[in-house]
Chains A and B, each alone.
Chain A
Amino acid sequence: MLSPTNKKIQTNKNFHKLVSLRRRVSWSFLLVLLGSYLTYGLLSAYFPSFLARPVFSDGIVPVGIAMGYAILALTFILTLIYIWIANRYFEPLERKIIAELER
């Protein structure tokens, strides 16, 4: 059923590298982010008093707000890392695959 080009891609080593790298990166990042949001959601449903506590014992800013901003910062950082990995690994692999197909 697969076209000749697709058959070649399917057996290409670099294609497998690309697919498994992207899979590992995307799903682990996603797990971290959704996990942190879920944690925040569950805390606000079941332990609201924990989110209301100040971060430092003598401080004013509550845990919930600090946590919210921390999750935003985490999203930023993981996005930057993802783009870095894409530039550093995905794109060279893609170019290699195309070059190997042209041969």
Chain B
Amino acid sequence: MNISAIAMFFVFVIITLGITWWAAKHTKTRSDFYAAGRSIGGLQNGLAIAGDFMSAATFLGVTALVYSTGMDGMLFVIGGTIGWAVVLLLVAERLRNLGQYTFSDVVAFRLERKPVRVMSAIGTLAVAIPYLLAQMVGAGALIQSLFHLPYNLAVVLVGVLMTLYVTLGGMLATTWIQTIKAVLLLTGGTIISVGVMAMLNFDFAALVTAAVDVHPKGSAIMAPGVLFTDPITIISIGLAFVFGTAGLPHVLMRFFTVPDARQARRSVAYAIGFIGYFQSLIFIIGLGAVVYVSNNPEFLTADGGLIGGSNMAAIHLSKVIGGDLFLGFISAVAFATILAVVSGLTLSAAAAVSHDLYANVICDGDSDRKTELRISRITTLVIGLTTMALAILLEGENVAVLALIALAIAASVNFPVMFLSMYWSRFTTRGALAGGYSGLATALVLVMLGPTVWVSLLGFEKPVYPYAYPTLFAMLANLICAYWFSVSDKSQRALAEAESFAAQWIQSEIGPVQEKL
């Protein structure tokens, strides 16, 4: 039992509950609950965006990937940063100029509100729920090995805290928790990397040499192709990062917490700085773990694997760097990371139900504020209880497939639909629905028929679809259907939609100007 880890985590929980209590007093309107009253500045929002993206999956998962495969991890390191350039250059300003609380606002700007809202809400939930579940199951296992708590208790702890943060404190509490966690994670990552480099006299070449010497695959880790060899897989991973990032609903929601498009632009620029910096540390941490953890019997099981699995590489390395005290700090940071990310995801799922489905589809855009917020809170509670129950049922299962589904759907459903609605004047409601649903169906079917579900879970001998990642084909399905069903749409509605593009285009470029006059 690591006392310092528990103490530090306890301090984090006390502080975040304090923030939630403070935020609850300032959360009265819809704009408070969904968008923190649009009061967040560019720098803080940049940190919070970075926090949303730097999940335990990045910190522990990509480190583990570099630890076990070396250069193949580079594909993730670059992709995780470059996706943000897409957000900066194509999405951020327009999103803020056109929307209110969720990205569905943008899609529904000139298309027929009800059907496209339903589809975007499904797209949001199809990303948020599997991603949330993947994080919860991972969290349970991680906390089990870090804090020696029983798995079920760990899941319940995460679920209860997340539900408290979101129902009481809304976006304001979620943003502050995310900000604090981002600072902690950046600090922790910096200390580990500096520690590794200090032991090697700050010589990067020495790190590479030492890693090649120690790693069982030897010089193969300094070449691509240990894990990913075929072009379809590599392109699918690339596409999932480059366009999936701009389709993550909980990240997109963050752009509505700033006052205007200018601050939205600055937030992404700051976020790119923090994320790029962190991604470049990941590679050092992964190689550092090869050098200092993989040959240290203290961290190895009898058959030569890492205690707690390869996801623990960064955690074990922190013990080498700074002993039990620093191990405690990094463990607490990992726990905080999970809590902050699941809170953001839950909030975006709740907003999809209360803002998109209840307020705009059921109430036709004319909902009572109190009822809408109550529905949002009830949804949060339901999501909290459901994911806790599911996470307990899924104990010990391989949940990598869930994270895979989430990013693939973000790239092949949400992003193309949002992008086309922003940039293509002839995009119609019919095209949006055909594209969105075909992207969703293709992604789901290909994952089911792929090696992860068809072979590993269902036990068939050969996968029907040979690749683990569905993004390339699912995105193509969406784009082809969206194009074909839009250009062939000769209805009155389609004509009116094409005509109202001009007004949307002007507002996307310069914002709601009428308000400024």
Contact = CB atoms under 8 A, between A and B. Distances in A.
A19 B272 CA distance: 24
A87 B276 CA distance: 22
A67 B266 CA distance: 27
Contact of A10 (B223, B230, B262, B502): B502
A3 B225 CA distance: 57
Contact-residue size bin, chain B (C-beta under 8 Å from the other chain): 35 or more
Contacts of A91: 262
Contact-residue size bin, chain A (C-beta under 8 Å from the other chain): 35 or more
B502 A2 contact: yes
B208 A72 contact: no
B231 A42 contact: yes
Interface string B337-361: 0000000000000000000000000
Nearest to B231: A45
B394 interface: no
A30 B85 contact: yes
Given A48-B225, A79-B269, A18 B510 contact: yes
A3 B79 contact: no
B223 A37 contact: no
Contacts of B81: 71-72, 75
Nearest to A33: B85
B231 A46 contact: yes
B269 A30 contact: no
Contact of A60 (B205, B272, B280, B283): B205
B265 interface: yes
Interface of chain B: mostly helix, strand, loop or mixed: helix
A32 to B, nearest CB: 9
B229 A45 contact: yes
Contact of A79 (B208, B242, B272, B517): B272
Interface string A62-103: 101100110110011011101100100001001001100110
B85 A15 contact: no
Contact of A40 (B78, B229, B265, B514): B78
A100 B279 CA distance: 45
Interface stretch (B86-94, B149-157, B170-178, B187-195): B86-94
B224 A44 contact: yes
Given A1-B499, A10-B502, A59-B205, A72 B77 contact: yes
B41 interface: no
A90 to B, nearest CB: 8
A30 B86 contact: yes
Interface in B477-517: 499-500, 502-503, 506, 509-510, 513-514, 516-517
B238 interface: yes
A5 interface: yes
A83 B71 contact: no
B38 to A, nearest CB: 19
18 contacts: A1-B503, A2-B506, A5-B513, A5-B517, A6-B502, A9-B506, A38-B238, A41-B238, A43-B224, A62-B208, A62-B223, A68-B77, A68-B78, A75-B84, A82-B88, A83-B266, A83-B269, A102-B517
Given A9-B510, A82-B89, A98-B513, 8 more contacts: A6-B503, A18-B510, A30-B89, A33-B82, A33-B85, A37-B82, A52-B224, A76-B276
